[in-house]
Chain A
Amino acid sequence: MLIEQAPYELTVAKKAPLLLAQLNSLTAHHREFCSEYESVVTAQWPNYAVANQLAAVPYLAVSLFKHLSLKSIPDSEVFKTLYSSGTTGNPSKIALDRETAGLQSKTLVKIMQHWLGKERRPMLIIDKPSILDARNSFSARAAGIKGLSFMGRNHCYALNEDMSVNIDAVQQFCSEFAAKPVLVFGFTFMVWQYFVEQLKQSKQRISLPNAILLHSGGWKKLEDRAVDNATFKQAVLEHTDIPKVHNFYGLVEQVGSIFVECEQGHLHCSSYSDVLVRDAETWHPLPLGKEGILQLMSVLPKSYPGHSLLTEDRAVILGEDDCLCGRKGKYFNIKGRLPKVDMRGCSDTFTPTVRERS
């Protein structure tokens, strides 16, 4: 089982057969227990039996989770439902049973241990404390904070309820823990808009020279402000002294098997996930270096058919097993969201226009 492997040590020769076998068994599992999934597979891939390669594994458009209740467990087994943060339209609804939820937390911790070590670190959360209140608790932001807070101790919230910096709390945290390895976590936009920018405007700075900043949630809002990754890191360093900054990418539809940015600025697949990039017109898989629509595969989703998903993001796979950072597996960059019109086209996978021949 891939889940027992270290996150970044498998080369393709070892990983590919294990991954294909696990994805095939997940496809079979979901065809049996989720009738909507079975309908999509038979409509899109007539005569489908089993995938002989990664690219032949059936995939769902991630937006289907907004329109359909896709789950492979009876209602009585639903232990928790995750919702995407989608600002427009319906949120995705992801049904988890205890097994899948447990697998997600374990995998997230396993990946994070690689980057942070096993010791829990004093943790500064770039958000307001009420984000975990019951009325917010289903948001993607709350789910992300809860998941990552397992890696921390002495949790401190950096923002007040009005989104201003709680500078007293932050300075107190710094004076207590700055000499130790610290974890700082927040959503990319929150870190920029409500932390770095506010420190800058109020001409304040903090010093956490032993900290790692993890952030996720997408670059869209920052690109609108012409802030790229290099600018982001530079500003973080300037105003907080935090030298290590790692973005990570992941979907609510595949919680746990996240993709973390390495020192070279590349997002890395772990042993528990993989990616493909497809042409937006033909849906054929594209070679390394070609930009297309990102498909994500994860071995975790058992309670819902989310093991192979076509995202709404454009990406380029840069290489496999040979990143200069030394980690094995594919590595890639996100190139932004698909235009709305394309998304409409590929979300409607009940119309059998998306057909993979292999």
Chain B
Amino acid sequence: MSNEPTNNEKLISSFATSLVIPESQVSESLAYNTINEWDSTAHMLLIAELENTFNVMLDTDDIIDLSSVNKAKEILAKHGITF
């Protein structure tokens, strides 16, 4: 079946869910602390959401580096997730 969402779709949906923003707002360049919804509290929810969705364990370096949607892809790629 081709109904399985792609990793990119999963990523967008993780951002939208944890930051409580519409999926249309999740662009590659969306960055930490540039919108009120992506503050340090939401950041921890986002990290947990990404860990659950992609079944990875992110360390403290990853959390600091994960400063944009684009960066999230890079970091997940490092953990073996392909986009």
Contact = CB atoms under 8 A, between A and B. Distances in A.
Contacts of A147: 40
27 contacts: A79-B33, A98-B33, A105-B40, A105-B64, A106-B64, A109-B60, A109-B64, A112-B60, A118-B59, A118-B60, A119-B57, A119-B59, A119-B60, A120-B58, A120-B59, A120-B60, A120-B63, A146-B40, A149-B40, A149-B44, A150-B43, A150-B44, A150-B64, A151-B60, A153-B47, A153-B48, A153-B51
Interface string A134-162: 00000000000011011101010000000
A101 interface: yes
Contacts of A119: 57, 59-60
Interface of B: 33, 40-41, 43-44, 47-48, 51, 57-61, 63-64, 67
A318 B47 CA distance: 41
B51 to A, nearest CB: 8
A21 interface: no
A113 B60 contact: yes
A132 interface: yes
Q: 10 closest pairs, A vs B, by CB?
A: A118-B59, A146-B40, A109-B60, A118-B60, A109-B64, A150-B63, A119-B59, A106-B64, A149-B44, A113-B60
Contacts of A151: 60
Interface of A: 79, 98, 101-102, 105-106, 109, 112-113, 118-120, 132, 146-147, 149-151, 153, 155
- Chain A's interface: helix, strand, loop or mixed, by majority? helix
B5 to A, nearest CB: 25
B46 to A, nearest CB: 12
A153 B40 CA distance: 14
Contacts of B47: 153
A149 B48 CA distance: 12
A153 B51 CA distance: 10
A147 B39 CA distance: 12
Most chain A CB atoms below 10 A, which of B44, B48, B67:
B44
Contacts of A155: 44
B60 A150 contact: yes
